[in-house]
Structure 1
């Protein structure tokens, strides 16, 4: 093998070894065995909430173990691929070597992605994420941009096979969204997406301007961890005002004709949340309570630490700080203003290809906490 290949394989082996040590693969195997025994218990489903926790943890642990074991196997197989290539002649050797190089590049990307996961060690990082998007300055273009961002995150989740649940979509009059709230259900969804918190900026030729002028518009993204029973976020009934109203949205038969939408106002803090995407008033109230509890958890942490550093992954009050620009005109570029990470394919990014930005953001945040 070429000395550069040998050096690169040694570096990959060191990086993967560090990841394996952090994940504690032997402990992970023991954990999978323990959860499998619990899942096989005949009385597991006597307690549905506990059963769901066990099966969810088992699924996550099995996937994590398979992921790291697969990477180790691929890395162990790579030298053999190069040896086989060297045994070929002419074009066959060149083609086999190119295949091995492609596998090595892919392996480097996959190991780096798993390495980023090991950086997510915050108190809430492993939880599901609750994402709130709202249009800001820029009128109808901002509302349209808010809808573009919502689609971007939902497509990202779809690409990875993550579950999603939309709690509320408040449509703007002409186009787009005033605001939207949705959950992304996956291990470490909060830790991964928390670096998206802040103000996103779009520059383009406005499709809503008759004169075809360039328009700059803004949308805000807020990311919170989904509340669990262990958080003890209790809401007194007297502190809550519940209003019901008819859901609104694009016309047609899908618009509800009953007062099923729910607005919750937490009187002590003034926090207001709405939910109108479920079919019944009760379902909407349950979903709205989840959102309200997540927001109150953020307030609780703020009071405990005097700032939101623990929840706002970029070390400050980023709700209102510009963090990324999406430029569609006069050139094509998406650039993160904190990490300097950029790509020249906005359409791919807006279609959910944001892993590069997420990884760069997580590494940037970790550097900030190390300083």
Structure 2
């Protein structure tokens, strides 16, 4: 085997081993077995939301394992392809070698694409994504561009088999949309699409200008992780202080003459609630705990909103805040201004072929994080 080919195969093997280590295949197989057991329960669909989460996670985990195992199989088959090519002669040898080289190039690209997934290790990266697109400066062209981006992302999700749901669309008067919000219902959708957040810029001959002039327009893409809310709030007994005291005010002789009133202090947050309406101290404590749970839930939801706000891009959709340019005239090019990644086929990009931009964005973000 050619020494350069052997060295390349060794490098691919090292990269794949790193991916397998990060994916933790024994853990992944155990997770799949557990999810298959849950999915097989007869009462699974009694809770449709929970069932959907289980089946979605199972499908994702099975797909992830299948992709890694397939890459491993292809890598192990490659040396055999080169050995077969060496056994051939003449034109057959050239054709067999070309096939082996093509498979090696394809395998390198597939391993590189999967390697990007291992870079998604942020706190929210595993979550589904909520995407909002808003028309920016540029009038009707901006509204039309916003609709083009909506179609682009929906087509991207469709190509990958990711379910989507459009929650809200505000249509512009002449053409296009003012804004739209949709959810991508797939694990790691947020981590994947979060690098798409920012201002996108379109340069083209405006189809809405009767003089055929070139127009620059903008649209803003916002990507947030879907909040996973659980309305039940667990309260550790060690985190509360319970004080009892004698009730005051009207309520009858029994209420006013016993230490039945309860005051609960939640030590981590300092929240204080009390209840003295019931005759029994046990009843008052139960009521006070319900109030405390409600207050803690409201606090958690406020914190989640603050976290989501912190993830939003503060830039406006206009000059100076751009992250990607789509140029249709006077030449054809789509270029990411952060990563320098570019392609000369805007039609394909707007049809949803944006994986190259996403992968480059994820790698760029990781470098920025490491530098920081």
Q: Is the 8 A contact 2:200 2:219 kept in 1?
A: yes
Work out whether residues 221 and 319 of structure 1, in 8 Å CA contact, stay in contact via their aligned partners in 2: no
CA deviations on 1:15-42 (whole Å, 9 max, x unpaired) are 0110111111111112112222232333
**Deviation string, structure 1 residues 95-116 (Cα, Å, up to 9, x no partner):** 1111111111111111111111
Could you tell me which runs of 5 or more consecutive residues in structure 1 were left unpaired when the two chains were aligned: 234-294
CA contact (8 A) 1:222 1:319 kept: no
Structure 2 gaps of 5+ residues are 234-300
- Mean Cα deviation higher: 56-65 or 202-211: 56-65
Whole-angstrom distance in 1 between the partners of 2:192 and 2:12: 23
Larger radius of gyration: 2
Matched, 1:178 2:175: no
Task: Give 2:191's aligned residue.
Answer: 191
Q: Residue 368 of structure 2: SS of its match in structure 1?
A: helix
Q: Which residue of 2 is the match for residue 4 of structure 1? A: 4
Q: Distance in 2 between matches of 1:331 and 1:175?
A: 25
Q: 1:71 & 1:231 partners in 2: Cα distance?
A: 42
Asked if residue 300 in structure 1 is aligned to residue 297 in structure 2, the reply is: no
- 2:277 alignment partner in structure 1: none
Alpha-carbon separation, structure 2, partners of 1:141 and 1:90: 58
In structure 1, the residue matched to 2:280 is: none
Rounded Cα–Cα distance in structure 2 between residues aligned with 1:207 and 1:297: 45
Describe the superposition over 1:175-216 as per-residue Cα deviations: whole angstroms up to 9, x where unpaired: 111111111111211111111111100011111111111110
Aligned position for 1:292? none
SS at match of 1:229: coil
Secondary structure, counterpart of 2:215 in structure 1: strand
When residues 72 and 366 of structure 1 are mapped into structure 2, their CA distance, relative to the original with a 3 A threshold, is same
Instruction: Answer whether contact 1:227 1:297 (CA < 8 A) is retained.
Output: no
Aligned ranges for residues 1-371 of structure 1 at < 5 Å?
Answer: 1-230=1-230, 299-301=305-307, 308=310, 311=311, 317-318=314-315, 320=317, 321-371=321-371
1:215–1:231 CA distance, 2 compared to 1 (3 A)? farther
d(CA) in 1 for partners of 2:308, 2:133: 21
CA 1:182–1:297: 2 relative to 1, 3 Å:
farther
Q: 1:136 to 1:297 in 2, by over 3 A?
A: farther
* Structure 1 residue 232, shift from structure 2 partner: 8.3
Question: Judging changes above 3 Å, is the alpha-carbon distance between structure 1 residues 177 and 339 closer, same or farther for their aligned structure 2 residues?
Answer: same
Change (3 A) 1:230 1:117: farther
Question: For structure 1, which segment, 41-50 or 344-353, has the greater mean C-alpha deviation from structure 2 after superposition?
Answer: 41-50
Partner of 1:268: none
- 1:129-169 residue CA offsets vs partner (Å, 9 max, x unmatched): 11111111111111110111011101111111111111111
- Cα pair 1:197 1:318 within 8 Å, conserved: no
TM-score, scaled relative to structure 2: 0.77
- Does the C-alpha gap of structure 1 residues 195 and 151 become closer, same or farther in structure 2, counting only changes over 3 Å? same
Q: TM-score, normalised by structure 1?
A: 0.77
Residue 88 of structure 1 and its aligned partner are, at CA, apart by 1.3
Q: Is the 8 A contact 2:224 2:308 kept in 1?
A: no
Change (3 A) 1:220 1:71: same
Q: Distance in 2 between matches of 1:186 and 1:202?
A: 29
Poorly superposed stretches of 4+, deviation over 6 Å: 295-298
The 1:129–1:297 alpha-carbon spacing in structure 2 relative to 1, beyond 3 Å, is farther
> Root-mean-square deviation (CA), in Å?
2.0
CA contact (8 A) 2:56 2:186 kept: no
Q: How many residues align?
A: 301
| In 2, Cα distance between equivalents of 1:5 and 1:232 | 57
Alpha carbons of 1:319 and 1:97: their partners in 2 closer, same or farther (altered >3 Å)? farther
Q: Give yes or no for contact 1:166–1:183 (8 Å, CA) kept in 2.
A: yes
